[in-house]
Amino acid sequence: MATTAQLKLDDKEYVLPVMVGTEGEKAIDTRKLRAETGYIAYDQGYGNTGSCESAITYLDGDNGILRHRGYPIEQLAQNSNFGETAYLIIYGELPNAAQRKAFGDLLRQHAAIEPQMQAIFQGYPKDAPPMAMLSSIVASLAAHNPHLATNDFEKDLKNFDLAAAMAISKIRTIGAMIYRYQHGLPYIPPKDIPFCDNFLHMMFSEVYKDYVAAPEISKAINTLLLLHADHEQNCSTSTVRMVGSSAANLFTSLSAGICALSGPLHGGANTAVMHMLQSIHDEHDDGTRFIAAAKSGGKSNRLMGFGHPVYRNFDPRAKIIGKACEDVLNKLGINDPLLAIARNLEQAALKDDYFISRKLYPNVDFYSGIIMRALGIPVNMFTVIFAIGRSPGWIANWREVAANPKGRIYRPRQIYSGPVKRDYLPMAQRG
């Protein structure tokens, strides 16, 4: 394997170092490129740019491989749960019994939203977009816990265990509260029960009657959150790292990640998939119109839940979630016509040259919405659930940035394509 790369510009040759990751991923180290050659590397969207070294998640898009801290996603989905996987992603190892208990205790102790923060909700219209509420309320965690959010890496890392557990636990509680606020229901405080059961309890309990999740429902939400827990340098995680690189505190960085997640090409896709499946159902179509529109090009016509910036074979999460979707619907005795539409659409697209030649497969969002619908979660809350699930990945990535003594502030370059220098025109001379 090459240990250096040669670059020839005009008559001069430059030698660039090569880096190799633990799974054999290769990179040409261009950090000194501009200083030595005057050139920068142009990579719109960063698809070929390694922005960091990270020990958290390994993703091989060509072969459909996803591993957290070395553990295959299939094994984690089968044997672990969201809380344990969150610990693994953040701290690097599966917890022993004492560590698991201590982490669980912290999550439980910091689940509630204090009255002053509860009052923030009243400032929003009842129909405010849930992700807009989530990002701003999570940002306010920094205002309500300034001792954990000093914007000084050294100090913030000293309090990291508390801040991390608080963030995961409270993002979940805030998510449940957004649902209740929008439905005109009062806040239900958390109980001393497992993480996912607690989420369902806070969402669905009545004032005088606790909601107790059936085991299959609790398992489904666990699987859903676990499958979303981290996904390498996606748009929102890179955003968290970028904001964190300025030494911004954890809560502020997480809020930025939530904003990035909200877009329909990222976390917002699960909502868009459901709207698409519902339209197909309402139009009594078989999906032909959507497939034809998707093939005609344009971002707004895309087949939602299909394609991925890195997976070119299959999305391993989609495989697990497709199966989980069928299981949960069977167990709950639900016959959702949207599942049949999704299956038909998947089959039709997978036989179509447009999708085959572009290596477009169903991604995690294609089936996750059907599970959430079966659990009684409204469509406008789907991306909030994604955000709750993704919080451990964001937190682990923020920590890597904060703990890296050699880390630099993220500051990409650009190729300027605007007007060249010109002189200011007084108003009278403007057309």
CB–CB of 34/284 below 8 Å?
Answer: no
| Contact flag: residue 397 with ligand CMC (CB under 6 A) | no
* From 130-138, 182-190, 215-223, 260-268, span contacting ligand CMC (CB under 6 A): 260-268
Rounded Cα gap, residues 307 and 420, in angstroms: 39
Beta-bridge partner residues of 15: 6
Closest separation in Å from C-beta 302 to ligand CMC: 4
Binding to ligand CMC in span 274-293, by CB under 6 A: none
195/367 with CB nearer ligand CMC: 367
The pair of structure tokens assigned to 114 is 């204090």
Active site residue 308: yes
171/272 with CB nearer ligand CMC: 272
Distances (CA, A) of 96 to 67, 84, 87, 378: 20, 10, 10, 36
| Contact flag: residue 308 with ligand CMC (CB under 6 A) | yes
Q: Contact with ligand CMC (CB under 6 A): which of 238, 365, 393, 397?
A: 365
227/401 with CB nearer ligand CMC: 227
Rounded Cα gap, residues 313 and 134, in angstroms: 33
| Contact flag: residue 307 with ligand CMC (CB under 6 A) | yes
| Contact flag: residue 356 with ligand CMC (CB under 6 A) | no
DSSP string, 275-304: HHHHHHHHTT--SHHHHHHHHT--GGGS-T
194/305 with CB nearer ligand CMC: 305
Residue with the closest Cβ to ligand CMC?
A: 307
Residue 28 dihedral angles phi and psi, to the nearest 5°: -95, 125
* From 151-159, 191-199, 215-223, 300-308, span contacting ligand CMC (CB under 6 A): 300-308
Q: Contact with ligand CMC (CB under 6 A): which of 64, 267, 369, 392?
A: 267
Rounded Cα gap, residues 308 and 415, in angstroms: 26
Closest separation in Å from C-beta 232 to ligand CMC: 9
Rounded Cα gap, residues 66 and 23, in angstroms: 12
Q: Contact with ligand CMC (CB under 6 A): which of 59, 324, 364, 395?
A: 364
Binding to ligand CMC in span 203-232, by CB under 6 A: 231
Rounded Cα gap, residues 291 and 276, in angstroms: 11
The pair of structure tokens assigned to 363 is 């991604």
Closest separation in Å from C-beta 238 to ligand CMC: 12
Indicate which residue of 197, 230, 308, 315 is catalytic.
Answer: 308
Closest separation in Å from C-beta 299 to ligand CMC: 6
Residues belonging to the chain: 431
Which residues, including other chains, have CB under 8 Å from residue 353's CB and lie 6 or more apart? none
Closest separation in Å from C-beta 253 to ligand CMC: 18
Q: Contact with ligand CMC (CB under 6 A): which of 31, 334, 358, 404?
A: 358
CB–CB of 328/374 below 8 Å?
Answer: yes
325/360 with CB nearer ligand CMC: 360
Beta-bridge partner residues of 13: 8
For β-strands 26-28 and 12-20, DSSP reports them as antiparallel
Q: Contact with ligand CMC (CB under 6 A): which of 266, 319, 373, 399?
A: 266
| Contact flag: residue 237 with ligand CMC (CB under 6 A) | no
* From 164-172, 194-202, 263-271, 408-416, span contacting ligand CMC (CB under 6 A): 263-271
Q: Contact with ligand CMC (CB under 6 A): which of 190, 305, 322, 369?
A: 305
Tell me the Cα Rg of the chain.
23
Q: Contact with ligand CMC (CB under 6 A): which of 306, 367, 382, 398?
A: 306
Rounded Cα gap, residues 78 and 242, in angstroms: 33
Rounded Cα gap, residues 122 and 99, in angstroms: 38
| Contact flag: residue 269 with ligand CMC (CB under 6 A) | yes
| Contact flag: residue 66 with ligand CMC (CB under 6 A) | no
Segment holding 16, helix H or strand E: strand 12-20
Rounded Cα gap, residues 80 and 225, in angstroms: 12
Residue 289 carries which side chain, given as an amino acid letter?
A: R
Q: Contact with ligand CMC (CB under 6 A): which of 148, 174, 276, 294?
A: 294
| Contact flag: residue 369 with ligand CMC (CB under 6 A) | no
Active site residue 365: yes
Beta-bridge partner residues of 19: 27
The pair of structure tokens assigned to 293 is 């529109």
| Contact flag: residue 350 with ligand CMC (CB under 6 A) | no
Residues taking part in catalysis: 308, 365
The residue ranges that bind ligand CMC (CB under 6 A) are 231, 234, 265-267, 269, 294, 302-309, 358, 360, 363-365
